[in-house]
Structure 1
Amino acid sequence: MNIRITIDGTPVDATLNDSAAARDFAAQLPLTLNLTDFHQNEKIADLPRPLSTSGAPSGVRPRTGDLAYYAPWGNLAIYYRDGSPSIGNDLIVLGHMPESATEPFADNDEVGVTIEDAS
């Protein structure tokens, strides 16, 4: 599924994968979120409701540009730098945006985004 992430007024196209969690995330769109920094490699925000973790792979290593769901906290993470590997199935990659679009996440402590269906 194609989505559009508007970051401080600039639209960026991204793609969600075909996982149960990504489909559940897409069903919540459009979303307007205020993301805050976490571990100096990702921005996070709470989602309105939990996502499905059905079929989630174990052991994910998030990369720059990944959109992910951290199940224990119920939040969205957008990685602007590569992340540490996850051992269990608590981190689920939902999709990806171009690495070149992650600069605003690295440059600001908080970033406002709107995420919507772009199909």
Structure 2
Amino acid sequence: MKKTVQWILLSLIVSSIFLTACNSMTNEENTTSKEDMTNHQNSKQGVTADESNNGDSQDSTLDQDGPDAMEDIRIKLTFNNEEVIVNMDDNPTSKDFLSLLPLTLTFEDYAGTEKISYPSNKLSTEEAPSGIDPAVGDFTYYAPWGNLAIYYKDFGYSNGLIKLGEIESGIEKLENLNGNFTVTIEKVD
């Protein structure tokens, strides 16, 4: 009987040690995975780990601190001898998009509500809401499909939609376009 109790206690101790080791390895993997994700995002944006941690980035336009960090960041959409100006929102997805500029993309109409295009790179969805209810003139990113969308009609709430910015004026220039059209997107100085 005494040997049986000792055997059970020994089995419990070994099992406890094994489970503790497994849990420790899982925590290390999670920490490493988060660090790898941060390093990947920083390398995608051209930021070293040291710059990421201390805020000494070279592009002050995108990395300013404070509530007005991206208040004055605007982009210009040029197509068919027309220009539309977009005020960009301050969020990680918008910043990731700005890092890709300048871009030339082909847009097409989708559902008589929005103009869409597929940039070659997927954008960050860090800190993104689960979705939004876009307004006419919203410049957005639909994460599930990886496409940009400019709304020229009311649509309703959409899961996975992230607002990048808002058109100042000229949404009617996009609304009246039929078929595919090429747009050059660049930052406004």
* TM-score between the two structures when normalised by the length of structure 1: 0.90
Q: Could you say which residue in structure 2 is the equivalent of 1:68?
A: 140
Q: Is the CA contact 1:42–1:78 (under 8 Å) kept in the aligned structure 2? A: yes
Other structure's SS at 1:57 match? coil
Residue among 101, 113, 118 paired with 1:46: 118
Distance, in Å, in 1 between the alignment partners of 2:76 and 2:109 is 21
Q: Could you say which residue in structure 2 is the equivalent of 1:102?
A: 171
Q: Look up the equivalent residue of 1:42 and give its one-letter code.
A: E
Q: Is the CA contact 2:105–2:183 (under 8 Å) kept in the aligned structure 1? A: yes
Other structure's SS at 2:132 match? coil
Q: Look up the equivalent residue of 1:101 and give its one-letter code.
A: G
Q: Bigger CA drift: 59-68 or 6-15? A: 6-15
Distance, in Å, in 1 between the alignment partners of 2:100 and 2:76 is 14
Distance, in Å, in 2 between the alignment partners of 1:20 and 1:30 is 18
Other structure's SS at 2:93 match? helix
Quote the offset at 1:4 in angstroms.
Answer: 0.9
Q: Is the CA contact 1:7–1:104 (under 8 Å) kept in the aligned structure 2? A: no
Distance, in Å, in 1 between the alignment partners of 2:84 and 2:166 is 11
Q: Is the CA contact 2:92–2:125 (under 8 Å) kept in the aligned structure 1? A: yes
Q: Is the CA contact 2:86–2:139 (under 8 Å) kept in the aligned structure 1? A: no
Larger Rg over CA atoms: 2
Instruction: Report the aligned-residue RMSD.
Output: 1.3
How many residues are matched?
A: 116
Distance, in Å, in 2 between the alignment partners of 1:11 and 1:74 is 24
Q: Is the CA contact 1:21–1:52 (under 8 Å) kept in the aligned structure 2? A: yes
Identity %: 43
Matched ranges for 1:12-23 at <5 A: 12-23=84-95
Residue among 88, 92, 99 paired with 1:27: 99
Other structure's SS at 1:84 match? coil
Q: Look up the equivalent residue of 1:58 and give its one-letter code.
A: S
- Structure 1 consecutive aligned stretches of length 4 or more whose deviation exceeds 3 Å: none
1:5 aligns with 2:77: yes
Q: Is the CA contact 2:131–2:162 (under 8 Å) kept in the aligned structure 1? A: no
Q: Identify the structure with the greater strand proportion.
A: 1
Q: Which has the higher contact order (CA 8 A, sep 6+)?
A: 1
Quote the offset at 1:23 in angstroms.
Answer: 0.2
Structure 1 residues without counterparts, runs of 5 or longer:
none
